[in-house]
Chains A and B, each alone.
Chain A
Amino acid sequence: MASRALEGVSLALEPGELGVGLGPTGSGKTTLLRAAAGLLAPTSGTVTVDDRPAAGRGSPRGAVGLVFQRPEAQFFAPSVEEDCAFGPRNLGRSTEEARADVRAALRAVRLDPDEFGSREPWGLSGGEARRAALAGVLAMRPRYLLLDEPTAGLDAAGRAAVLAAVDVVRAGAGLLVVTHDSDLFLGRADTVLILRAGRVAFSGGVAALLEELPALAAAGAAEPPEVVRAQMLARERGAMLGGRLELDPDAAAAALARAAGGGAS
Chain B
Amino acid sequence: MISFESVTYRYREGDPPALDDVTLRVEPGEIVAIVGANGSGKSTLALMCDGLLVPDEGRVMVDGLDSADAASTWEIRSRVGMVFQDPDDQIVGTVVEEDCAFGPENLGVPSAEIRQRVDDALGSVGLTGLERREPHLLSEGQKQRLAVAGALAMRPRYLVFDEPTAMLDPECRRSVMGIVERLGHEQGHGVLLVSHDAADVARVDRVIGLRQGRLIYGGAPGDLLADADLLASLGLALPPAGRLAAALRRLGCAVPVTALDAESVVAALWP
Interface string of A228-258 (1 = CB under 8 A from B): 0110011001110000000001101110110
Contact A233 B263 (CB under 8 A): yes
Q: Which segment of A50-58, A149-157, A205-213 sits at the interface? A: A149-157
Which residue of A25, A156, A183, A234 is within 8 Å of B168 (Cβ)?
A: A25
Asked if residues A223 and B240 are in contact (CB atoms below 8 Å), the reply is no
A128 touches B253 (CB 8 A): no
CA distance A235 to B37 in the complex (A): 37
Closest Cβ of chain A to B175, distance in Å, is 12
Interface range on chain B (Cβ under 8 Å from partner): 35 or more
Name B241's contact: one of A26, A230, A237, A254 (CB within 8 Å).
A230
B39 at the interface (CB under 8 A from A): yes
CB distance from B34 to the nearest CB of A (A): 13
* A16 in contact (CB, < 8 A): no
Contact with A along B224-243 (1 / 0, CB 8 A): 00000000100111011101
Contacts of A127 in B (CB 8 A): 37-39
A201 within 8 A of B: no
CA distance A56 to B248 in the complex (A): 54
Q: Are A128 and B252 interface neighbours, CB within 8 A?
A: no
CA distance A9 to B39 in the complex (A): 40
Q: Which residues of A contact B262 (CB under 8 A)?
A: 226-227, 229-230, 233
Is B130 interfacial (CB 8 A cutoff)?
no
State whether the Cβ of A198 lies closer than 8 Å to any Cβ in chain B: no
* A127 to B85 CA separation, bound complex (whole angstroms): 14
A99 part of interface (Cβ distance < 8 Å): no
Partner of B266, one of A125, A149, A225, A230: A230
The residue from A69, A126, A153, A256 contacting B39, defined by CB atoms under 8 A apart: A126
CA distance A238 to B266 in the complex (A): 11
Are B163's CB and A153's CB within 8 A? yes
The residue in chain A whose Cβ has the minimal distance to the Cβ of B237 is A156
Contact call B166/A249, Cβ cutoff below 8 A: no
Whether A180 and B169, one on each chain, are in contact in the complex, defined by CB atoms closer than 8 angstroms, is yes
Docked Cα-Cα span, A257 to B172, in Å, equals: 31
Taking CB atoms, residues of chain A closer than 8 Å to B172 are: 24-25
- B38 contact from A26, A149, A154, A223, Cβ within 8 A: A154
CA distance A230 to B246 in the complex (A): 14
Residues of B within 8 A of A250 (CB): 247
Please tell me if the beta carbons of B243 and A249 are within 8 angstroms of each other in the complex: yes
5 new A-B contacts at CB < 8 Å, known A26-B140, A128-B38, A263-B252: A24-B169, A24-B172, A226-B240, A233-B266, A238-B270
Measured CB to CB, the closest approach of chain B to A244, in angstroms, equals 16
Whether B139 pairs with A225 at a CB distance below 8 angstroms is no
